[in-house]
Amino acid sequence: MRLLHTSITVRNLEESLRFYTEVLGLEFERRHPIPENRAEIAFVRDPASGGRVELTYWQDKTGYEAGDQLDHLAFEVPDLDAFLTRAKAQGVRVAKEPYQLRGGSGRLAFLLDPNDIWIELIETRSDRS
Protein backbone atom coordinates (compact mmCIF):
# COMPACT_ATOMS: atom_id res chain seq x y z
CA MET A 1 0.00 0.00 0.00
CA ARG A 2 1.20 3.50 -0.80
CA LEU A 3 -0.21 6.85 0.33
CA LEU A 4 -1.28 8.77 -2.77
CA HIS A 5 -2.83 12.01 -1.56
CA THR A 6 -4.83 13.86 1.08
CA SER A 7 -8.07 15.47 -0.06
CA ILE A 8 -9.47 18.61 1.50
CA THR A 9 -12.82 20.25 0.88
CA VAL A 10 -12.51 23.85 -0.31
CA ARG A 11 -15.06 26.67 -0.50
CA ASN A 12 -13.61 28.23 -3.67
CA LEU A 13 -11.43 26.19 -6.03
CA GLU A 14 -9.84 29.17 -7.82
CA GLU A 15 -8.88 30.89 -4.59
CA SER A 16 -7.53 27.65 -3.13
CA LEU A 17 -5.46 26.90 -6.23
CA ARG A 18 -3.90 30.36 -6.05
CA PHE A 19 -3.07 29.87 -2.36
CA TYR A 20 -1.49 26.44 -2.73
CA THR A 21 0.51 27.35 -5.86
CA GLU A 22 1.40 31.02 -5.36
CA VAL A 23 1.71 31.18 -1.57
CA LEU A 24 2.88 27.67 -0.67
CA GLY A 25 4.73 26.99 -3.93
CA LEU A 26 3.05 23.68 -4.77
CA GLU A 27 2.88 22.75 -8.44
CA PHE A 28 -0.45 22.47 -10.26
CA GLU A 29 -0.89 18.98 -11.71
CA ARG A 30 -4.41 18.58 -13.07
CA ARG A 31 -8.03 19.54 -12.64
CA HIS A 32 -11.29 17.93 -13.73
CA PRO A 33 -15.00 17.80 -12.96
CA ILE A 34 -16.72 14.73 -11.52
CA PRO A 35 -20.29 15.24 -12.76
CA GLU A 36 -21.79 12.20 -11.00
CA ASN A 37 -20.67 13.64 -7.63
CA ARG A 38 -21.40 17.28 -8.55
CA ALA A 39 -17.81 18.07 -7.68
CA GLU A 40 -14.61 19.35 -9.21
CA ILE A 41 -11.14 18.35 -8.11
CA ALA A 42 -7.65 19.72 -8.64
CA PHE A 43 -4.32 18.22 -7.62
CA VAL A 44 -1.28 20.16 -6.45
CA ARG A 45 2.09 18.60 -5.68
CA ASP A 46 5.02 19.46 -3.45
CA PRO A 47 8.06 19.36 -5.76
CA ALA A 48 10.40 18.57 -2.86
CA SER A 49 8.59 15.59 -1.30
CA GLY A 50 6.23 14.53 -4.08
CA GLY A 51 3.29 14.77 -1.65
CA ARG A 52 -0.05 15.58 -3.24
CA VAL A 53 -3.12 17.47 -2.05
CA GLU A 54 -6.46 17.03 -3.78
CA LEU A 55 -8.60 20.15 -3.56
CA THR A 56 -12.26 19.10 -3.71
CA TYR A 57 -15.04 21.57 -4.43
CA TRP A 58 -18.56 20.22 -3.83
CA GLN A 59 -21.09 22.21 -5.86
CA ASP A 60 -23.98 21.58 -3.47
CA LYS A 61 -22.11 22.23 -0.21
CA THR A 62 -23.21 25.53 1.32
CA GLY A 63 -22.28 25.22 5.00
CA TYR A 64 -18.86 24.51 6.44
CA GLU A 65 -18.28 23.45 10.04
CA ALA A 66 -14.92 23.11 11.75
CA GLY A 67 -13.55 19.71 10.80
CA ASP A 68 -15.30 19.57 7.40
CA GLN A 69 -12.10 20.39 5.55
CA LEU A 70 -10.52 16.93 5.57
CA ASP A 71 -12.30 15.04 2.82
CA HIS A 72 -10.29 11.80 2.58
CA LEU A 73 -6.90 10.08 2.50
CA ALA A 74 -6.14 8.02 -0.62
CA PHE A 75 -4.07 4.84 -0.78
CA GLU A 76 -3.04 2.74 -3.75
CA VAL A 77 -3.66 -1.02 -3.42
CA PRO A 78 -2.76 -3.73 -5.95
CA ASP A 79 -5.88 -5.89 -5.43
CA LEU A 80 -8.97 -4.05 -4.17
CA ASP A 81 -11.12 -7.14 -3.62
CA ALA A 82 -8.46 -8.95 -1.57
CA PHE A 83 -7.79 -5.85 0.51
CA LEU A 84 -11.51 -5.34 1.23
CA THR A 85 -11.93 -8.98 2.20
CA ARG A 86 -9.13 -8.65 4.77
CA ALA A 87 -10.43 -5.28 6.04
CA LYS A 88 -14.00 -6.55 6.46
CA ALA A 89 -12.69 -9.59 8.37
CA GLN A 90 -11.10 -7.11 10.80
CA GLY A 91 -14.43 -5.34 11.29
CA VAL A 92 -13.63 -2.30 9.12
CA ARG A 93 -16.68 -0.42 7.86
CA VAL A 94 -17.01 0.04 4.09
CA ALA A 95 -18.54 3.38 3.11
CA LYS A 96 -18.64 2.66 -0.65
CA GLU A 97 -18.16 -0.72 -2.27
CA PRO A 98 -15.90 -0.91 -5.37
CA TYR A 99 -16.97 1.16 -8.36
CA GLN A 100 -15.49 2.96 -11.32
CA LEU A 101 -16.08 6.58 -12.31
CA ARG A 102 -17.28 7.24 -15.84
CA GLY A 103 -14.21 7.59 -18.01
CA GLY A 104 -11.95 6.39 -15.19
CA SER A 105 -9.44 3.61 -15.65
CA GLY A 106 -9.31 2.17 -12.13
CA ARG A 107 -11.67 0.91 -9.48
CA LEU A 108 -12.24 2.73 -6.20
CA ALA A 109 -13.72 1.97 -2.80
CA PHE A 110 -13.99 3.89 0.47
CA LEU A 111 -13.53 2.70 4.04
CA LEU A 112 -14.26 4.55 7.27
CA ASP A 113 -11.57 4.83 9.90
CA PRO A 114 -12.58 4.67 13.59
CA ASN A 115 -13.19 8.46 13.50
CA ASP A 116 -15.42 8.27 10.40
CA ILE A 117 -12.69 9.73 8.17
CA TRP A 118 -13.05 8.41 4.64
CA ILE A 119 -10.15 6.33 3.29
CA GLU A 120 -10.09 5.99 -0.50
CA LEU A 121 -8.60 2.83 -1.96
CA ILE A 122 -7.50 3.04 -5.60
CA GLU A 123 -6.74 -0.24 -7.32
CA THR A 124 -3.54 -0.35 -9.36
CA ARG A 125 -3.94 -3.91 -10.59
CA SER A 126 -3.71 -3.94 -14.38
CA ASP A 127 -4.63 -7.58 -15.13
CA ARG A 128 -8.38 -7.11 -14.52
CA SER A 129 -10.73 -7.60 -17.47
Count CB atoms within 10 A of the CB of residue 17.
18
For residue 118, the cross-strand partners are 72, 112
- Annotated catalytic residue within 65, 76, 120, 123: 120
| First vs last C-alpha separation in the chain | 22
DSSP assignment of 42-100: EEEE-TTT--EEEEEEETT-----TTTTEEEEEEEES-HHHHHHHHHHTTPEEEEEEE-
Do 57 and 74 form a contact (C-beta atoms < 8 A)? no
3 state DSSP class of 124: coil
Q: Is 15 a catalytic residue?
A: no
Which residues are annotated as catalytic?
120
